[in-house]
Amino acid sequence: MGKEPLLQKVRIQEDIESDKKTQPLLQKLRIQEDIESAKHKLVNDDVDDGDGPVTFILLFTTFTALCGTFSYGTAAGFTSPAQSGMMAGLNLSLAEFSFFGSILTIGGLVGAAMSGKLADLLGRRGALWVSNSFCMTGWLMIAYSQAAWFLDIGRLFLGVAAGLSCYVVPVYIVEISPKQIRGAFTAVNALVMSSSVSITFLVGSATSWKTLALISTVPCVLEFVGLFFIPESPRWLSRNGRVKESVAALQRLRGNNTNITKEAAEIKIYMENLQEEFKEDCFFELFKPRYSRVISVGIGLLVLQQLGGLSGYTFYMSSIFHKSGFPNNIGVSITSAVQLVTSILGLIIVDKYGRRSLLTIATVMMCMGSLITGLSFLFQSYALLNNYTPISALIGVLVFFVSITVGIGGIPWVMVSEMTPINVKGSAGTLCNLTSWSCNWFVSYTFNFLFQWSTSGVFFIYSIISGLGILFVLKMVPETRGRSLEEIQADITR
């Protein structure tokens, strides 16, 4: 008889431990069941399904957010057309100008470090206000600078704004967009990024660097005005217990004649089931087993994007064309035009063929683009087929940039925003953003050294990394097309 109380205690302890282990799984199952139940309950309603039409306010809100992306593109493209005028006008040495160019990445790391938590604390709209303030201040400091240190502070501010907008803009657009066109709306981000760099190069070729800096404030002004009129993310409002405001924002985005019952129910149920996890939200929550796939896929795609050579191609395109013997201005113009056309193509097909399929195709193209570029310089180094080196290098660069605009440039951020549960979105966003900017700095810093070491070898390295990326996409990346954020997140963290 004396053993029974002890055995009973052991059984109780085992039950408690078992419950602790199964609780996360049961919670995810309940979320999925509640969402399906809400859908089933309303499936016979004679009303719109809640996704609704593309409304003016949705377009205006997306446009306002994308002004932040355009500003980042102008900052990235500013140094190339401005270099000669700035160095002559302010008597800058090459070292001073190089520091001015590279400090954008340092600012980006600062912005990335605070992007997730700032977006959680102030809201997506609030974080855009902060980004806009840094961006406007940065451009004005550059436009009216009389010394190198003033230029550097302005460029640093632009980097902070870029680091913030890289995370906040895609997250905001993902959270406000109807699921059936969410991919297309977020793909516009990549289109705006590539086109803004091209536009900056063209405008900068015809104006002084100070005029270019002032013109670059135009998207900042447009964003500043727009931020007064756009709604906050309904999901962020619901996460913070502001349910009535969340429903009102969702109704405004979907249109007054759209029934939002299903979508609002999904959001509400999902947030209610995560209330306990909101209380525990901290950075180390990310390393729990249920978030392992989210973090692995998110970081993996962003590392692939950067270590595959994106910054090297973007920042040093002129050096690549010059070394190959292809006219620089013509090469940049052709590349810009192809980027614009293929960005529009990517916008059309992303919701038709899905994220995973496009990522697979894009990664194969990225691998092939670097391989073609590398082979061009390899043959050149052995004085083989020299007449074909310029055109083959151009083809390699074009294939690489098509891969960026069709998939690998914008889709990784779309998927990070889609897959990450809102209770850890801030921490996950910070981690992913920091990883992206760190890899950005690493590639941009090492490219010139590697290019001097071996003009072909650097591109073969990028090609090998891209080849490994193909396997990663096929093995790890899920398809998220046509599913609500709540469905995606409940499934991937199960």
pLDDT, tens digit, 9 for 90 and up, residues 254-291 = 988 888 888 888 877 777 666 555 555 566 677 777 77
Segment 144-164 shows an average pLDDT of: 91
**35 assigned to some structural domain:** no
In order of 100, 134, 147, 148, 156, the CA distances from 153 in angstroms are: 9, 11, 11, 9, 5
The DSSP 8-state label assigned to residue 284 in this structure reads G
Residue 259 sits in the same domain as residue 323: no
Distance CA 323, CA 337 (A): 22
CA-closest candidate to residue 124, choices 68, 75, 72, 76 = 68
Residue 175 sits in the same domain as residue 60: yes
Q: What is the DSSP string of 380-408?
A: HHTT-SGGGHHHHHHHHHHHHHHHIIIII
Among 273, 306, 321, give the residue marking a domain's end.
Answer: 273
Segment 121-134 shows an average pLDDT of: 95
Find tokens 């091209």 and name the residue: 198
Find tokens 């600062």 and name the residue: 110
CA-closest candidate to residue 248, choices 238, 240, 239, 226 = 238
**5 assigned to some structural domain:** no
Return all residues near 422 (Cβ < 8 A) that are at least 6 apart.
235, 236, 239, 270, 271, 274, 489
How many C-beta atoms lie closer than 10 Å to residue 176's C-beta?
Answer: 26
282 near 120, Cβ under 8 Å? no
Question: What pLDDT score does 158 carry?
Answer: 95
**39 assigned to some structural domain:** no
Q: What is the DSSP string of 416-435?
A: HHHHS-TTSHHHHHHHHHHH
Residue 250 sits in the same domain as residue 318: no
**12 assigned to some structural domain:** no
One-letter amino acid at 3 equals K
Q: Which tens digits make up the pLDDT trace of 454-471?
A: 889 999 999 999 999 999
| Range with the poorest average pLDDT among 109-113, 148-152, 415-419, 439-443 | 415-419
The torsion angles phi and psi of 214, rounded to 5 degrees, stand at -70, -40
Residue 238 sits in the same domain as residue 348: no
| Range with the poorest average pLDDT among 249-258, 362-371, 437-446 | 437-446
Q: Which tens digits make up the pLDDT trace of 46-84?
A: 444 445 678 899 999 999 999 999 998 899 888 877 877
Q: What is the pTM of this model?
A: 0.75
Domain that holds residue 485: 285-494
CA-closest candidate to residue 338, choices 459, 196, 194 = 194
Segment 169-178 shows an average pLDDT of: 88
Segment 313-333 shows an average pLDDT of: 83
The domain total for the chain is 2
Residue 269 sits in the same domain as residue 289: no
